């Protein structure tokens, strides 16, 4: 696994700091390259995302998390890079870390933005009947992992609640009335064109100031991390 410069922005919660990694390739390619050692990770040489110092952050560990790729195939151990900000360490204090999460994934969830969008789209198609959604979800998705056929009503309810929370953020962001409802928002997110949702999430975060403004993340928990002021 190699290091290089790469664009990024920050979010975090409950003491866990993650940087959504802006992928320009399928997640399956990221998975393959990280495992065969050819993926080039960011080095953050010019600016540490936490303290803003140059030559501070270092790639020091990796961890694994379950995920689903762009074709809804299950990845049991997706490699996630973890970095350390060495400013506190130099002061003999506990160091702070951050990790890189591919931006097609939802923070703290193994189900991707694509799966979330697909589920709420089918739910809307079947007139918001969760039982019918469970029976019909992924039936036409030939590449979907068999684990997705075991989704139950609580999973669908979780996706719906996530979309409802996301809709509130979207209304505030665009300054539109409450008359703009869930049906319109589901349609906007693109159904099976999940990449549109990923692009919307990027635009939302960057449009709200990213890490400097402690922006919330569109599909997921609010940011609880604010970058420290760079020492003079």
54-78 pLDDT per residue, tens: 999 999 899 999 999 999 999 999 9
Cβ count within 10 A of residue 46: 11
Which range, of 50-54, 91-95, 147-151, 156-160, averages the lowest pLDDT? 91-95
Please give the Cα distance from 37 to 176 (Å, whole number).
Answer: 46
Provide mean pLDDT across the span 37-44. 92
CA distance 191 to 117: 6
Higher pLDDT, 41 or 13: 41
Mean pLDDT of 33-48: 92
Whether the Cβ atoms of residue 223 and residue 216 lie closer than 8 Å to each other = yes
> What is the pLDDT, as a whole number, of residue 165?
93
Mean pLDDT of the chain: 83
pLDDT of residue 2: 52
Distance CA 204, CA 196 (A): 12
Q: pLDDT at position 49, please?
A: 80
Kindly list the domain boundaries of the chain, sorted by start residue.
2-106, 113-202
Helix (H, G, I), strand (E, B) or coil at 80: strand
What is the reported pLDDT for 216?
76
Residue of 125, 126, 133 lying closest to 152 (CA atoms): 133
pLDDT tens sequence across 104-125: 998 888 899 999 999 999 999 9
pLDDT confidence of residue 214: 63
**In contact, 31 and 38? CB cutoff 8 Å:** no
Q: Say what the pLDDT of residue 167 is.
A: 95
At residue 191, the pLDDT reads 61
pLDDT in tens, 179-207: 999 999 999 987 666 788 999 988 998 88
Residue 69 CA neighbour count, 13 Å, CB half: 18
Provide the pLDDT for residue 208.
Answer: 84
Exposure string for 60-93, b = 16+ CB within 10 A, e = fewer: eeeeebebbbbebbebeebbbbebbbbbeeeeee
Instruction: Give the burial class of 145: count Cβ atoms within 10 A of its Cβ; 0-12 exposed, 13-18 middle, 19 or more buried.
Output: middle
């Amino acid at each position: 696994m190699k290091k290089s410069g790469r664009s990024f922005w920050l979010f975090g919660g409950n003491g866990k700091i993650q940087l959504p990694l802006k992928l320009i390739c399928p997640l399956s390619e990221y998975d393959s390259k990280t495992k065969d050692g050819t993926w080039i990770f960011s080095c953050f040489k010019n600016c540490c995302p936490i303290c803003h110092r140059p030559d501070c952050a270092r790639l020091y560990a990796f961890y694994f998390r379950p995920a689903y790729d762009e074709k809804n195939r299950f990845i049991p151990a997706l490699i996630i890079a973890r970095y350390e900000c060495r400013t506190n360490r130099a002061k003999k204090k506990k160091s702070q870390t951050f990790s890189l999460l591919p931006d097609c994934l939802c923070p703290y969830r193994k189900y991707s933005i694509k799966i979330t969008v697909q589920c709420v789209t089918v739910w809307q198609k079947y007139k918001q009947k969760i039982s019918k959604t469970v029976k019909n979800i992924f039936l036409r998705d030939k590449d979907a992992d068999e684990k997705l056929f075991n989704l139950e009503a609580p999973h669908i309810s979780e996706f719906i609640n996530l979309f409802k929370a996301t809709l509130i953020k979207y209304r505030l962001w665009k300054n539109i009335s409450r008359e703009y409802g869930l049906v319109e928002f589901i349609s906007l997110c693109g159904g099976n064109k999940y990449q549109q949702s990923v692009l919307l999430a990027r635009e939302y975060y960057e449009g709200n100031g990213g890490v400097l403004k402690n922006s919330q993340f569109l599909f997921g928990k609010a940011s609880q991390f604010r970058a420290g002021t760079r020492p003079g």
